[in-house]
Amino acid sequence: MLQIDHISKSFSTGRDKRTVVLDDIALEIHAGQSIGLVGESGSGKSTIIRCALGLMKPDTGNVRYGGIDVHRSGRADMLAFRREVQLVFQDPYASLNPRMTVEELVGEGLLVHKLDGSASGRRRRVVEMLEMVGLGEEALGRYPRSFSGGQRQRIAIARALVIRPQLLICDEPVSALDVSVQAQVINLLQDMQRELNLGILFVAHDLAVVRHLCSTIAVLERGKIVERGTRGDIFDNPQHPYTRSLLAAVPIPDPAVGQARRAKRQLAL
DSSP 21: E
Question: Distance (Å, rounded) from C-alpha 47 to C-alpha 256?
Answer: 39
Pseudo-torsion of CA 207, 213, 218, 221, nearest 10°? -30
User: CA torsion sign, 136 to 159 to 48 to 45?
Assistant: negative
**Is residue 55 over pLDDT 60?**
yes
Q: Where are the domains of the chain?
A: 2-268
pLDDT given for residue 64 in this prediction: 95
pLDDT given for residue 192 in this prediction: 86
Least confident of 6-10, 100-104, 186-190: 186-190
Mean pLDDT along residues 158-183: 88
pLDDT given for residue 229 in this prediction: 94
Is the Cβ–Cβ distance between 9 and 47 less than 8 Å?
Answer: yes
For residue 79, the one-letter residue type is: L
Mean pLDDT along residues 14-43: 90
pLDDT for 182-222, tens place per residue?
Answer: 888 888 888 888 888 899 999 988 788 888 889 999 999 99
Domain 2-268 has CATH 3.40.50.300: yes
Mean pLDDT along residues 167-181: 86
Question: Distance (Å, rounded) from C-alpha 89 to C-alpha 159?
Answer: 11
**Which of the pair, 93 or 146, is modelled with greater confidence?**
146
DSSP 43-109: SSHHHHHHHHTTSS--SEEEEEETTEEGGG--HHHHHHHHHHEEEE-S-TTTSS-TTS-HHHHHHHH
Mean pLDDT along residues 79-96: 90
| Sequence-distant (≥ 6) Cβ neighbours of residue 251 within 8 angstroms | 208
**Is residue 256 over pLDDT 80?**
no
Record the pTM. Answer: 0.86
